[in-house]
Amino acid sequence: MKKGHLIGILVVLIISSLVLYQELKTTNFTTLVSQVAKLNYFYIGLIILIVLFSYLCEAGILQTLSQSKGVKKLIHFYRVPLIQSLFNAITPLATGGQPAQLFALSQMGYSVGSATSLLMMKFIIYQIVVFFAYIITFVTKFNFIMVNYRALSLVIILGFILHISSIVFLFLVLFAYRPLKKITYLLSKALARISNENRAKKFQVGLIKQIDSYHHESKVLMKNKRALLISLVLTILQIGCYFSVPFLTLLALNLQANYFDLLAMNILVVLFMATIPIPGASGGAEFSFQALFKRYVVSNAQLVLGLFIWRFFTYFMGMLLGIFAWIFKPAKSN
């Protein structure tokens, strides 16, 4: 692990600790201890199980998509999402997750080409599921957001625009391959006129390569409908589990909430957090959680405890498991 990654871990720990400290300053310690004693540990256990299950779903997606490239045991793939979770958390905009997965798959015996193909197919499926989840959530819950979370509305709309832009690009690759390549050539010509010609050429070559790769992998996916269907179902389960953690956190605090309202808000907030250029989206994540939960908690002690539970199981547990997964390397297959 590089020095920069260790710095990323420190950044997440420091910022998260500072946010917790700010809240703890205005929290009565006796009340906090009382809230800890009242925690429903059944739901704490359930949070642990569904987070572990979400990693299992992700491992299942990789195993399903790898069938044409040589099947390996599910337990071997379980290590990959854990390592991804670690590097997503400690790098800005989660940029370290994909290279870390690529490295983990290469340790299992996959060539760089096969591993890249696997991850690209997984990414395409994830983006398809996220697209429909985002659209359905935004359309059905927009009024609820404006009434109850006006402070977050601008943040959510910004996140919506950024994510939809990237997903629209992916759909253009899938369904408008030739026109998109023509647009790319026109853009690079326009860029050459206002910028450095070598830079414009580099932009063109890089983007065309990416378009070709996505198009090729999408065609491979469409040919194997069974693997595509299984992967779609597993991705829905993976996302559903992860986004259910805040609801279970409230239940652990003996509070009540509408599951679908909280699920919808969490989808919109977490996808915005992915655009925050700080390791682990630190600061923005805590702010979003506070805005999300203040409507449900009755004391600051509950807010602090809820923030800790949510942050630990969605970030720090993944980081800890990822460190162990990184240390214990698998035996390479023949």
Is the distance from CB of 96 to CB of 326 less than 8 angstroms? no
For residues 253 and 156, the model is more confident at: 253
**Mean pLDDT value across residues 212-233:** 86
What is the percentage of the chain residues whose pLDDT exceeds 90?
19
Do 57 and 234 form a contact (C-beta atoms < 8 A)? yes
User: Quick one: pLDDT at residue 281?
Assistant: 47
Cα-Cα-Cα-Cα dihedral sign, residues 320, 127, 263, 272: positive
Q: Which residues contact 28 (CB under 8 A, 6 or more apart)?
A: 300, 301
Which amino acid is it at 124? I
DSSP-derived 3-state class of residue 93: helix
Mean pLDDT over residues 54-69, rounded? 87
Q: Which of 35-44, 83-92, 130-139, 299-308 has the highest mean pLDDT?
A: 35-44
d(CA 250, CA 18): 23
- pLDDT for position 64: 92
More confident residue, 213 or 333: 213
Is the pLDDT score of 135 beyond 50? yes
**Average pLDDT for the chain:** 81
Predicted confidence at residue 313, as pLDDT, reads 92
Residue 192 contacts residue 201 (beta carbons within 8 Å): yes
Residue 100, pLDDT > 70, answer: yes
The mean per-residue pLDDT over the stretch 261-265 comes to 84
Q: What is the pLDDT of residue 68?
A: 55
pLDDT of residue 53: 97
CA 12, CA 19: separation in Å to the nearest integer? 11
How far apart CA 148 and CA 154 sit, in angstroms, is 13
Q: Taking 50 as the threshold, does the pLDDT of residue 141 lie above it?
A: yes
Q: Tell me what the mean pLDDT of segment 182-186 comes to.
A: 84
Q: pTM score, two decimals?
A: 0.82
**Confidence at 46, pLDDT banded by 50, 70, 90:** very high
For the segment 266-309, what is each residue's pLDDT rounded down to a tens digit?
887 776 666 554 444 444 566 667 777 778 888 888 888 888 89
| Spatial separation of the C-alpha atoms in residues 120 and 292, rounded to whole Å | 33
pLDDT confidence bin for 71, thresholds 50/70/90? low
Q: HEC states along 259-324?
A: HHHHHHHHHHHHHHHCCCCCHHHCCHHHHHHHHHHCCCCCCHHHHHHHHHHHHHHHHHHHHHHHHH
Show Cβ contacts of residue 227 under 8 Å, excluding neighbours closer than 6 positions.
64, 65, 67, 221
Distance, in Å, from the CA atom of 230 to the CA atom of 226, rounded to the nearest integer, reads 6
Of residues 281 and 248, more confidently modeled: 248
Of 86-95, 132-141, 223-232, which has the strongest mean pLDDT? 223-232
By CB atoms closer than 10 A (0-12, 13-18, 19+), residue 132 is exposed
Q: Identify the pLDDT of residue 77.
A: 92
Q: What does DSSP assign to residue 331?
A: P
Position 15 scores a pLDDT of 64
Other beta carbons within 10 Å of 80 = 29
Q: Report the pLDDT averaged over residues 181-192.
A: 82
User: Quick one: pLDDT at residue 334?
Assistant: 46
Nearest to 260 by CA among 240, 290, 232: 240
Q: How many CB atoms lie within 10 A of CB 37?
A: 7
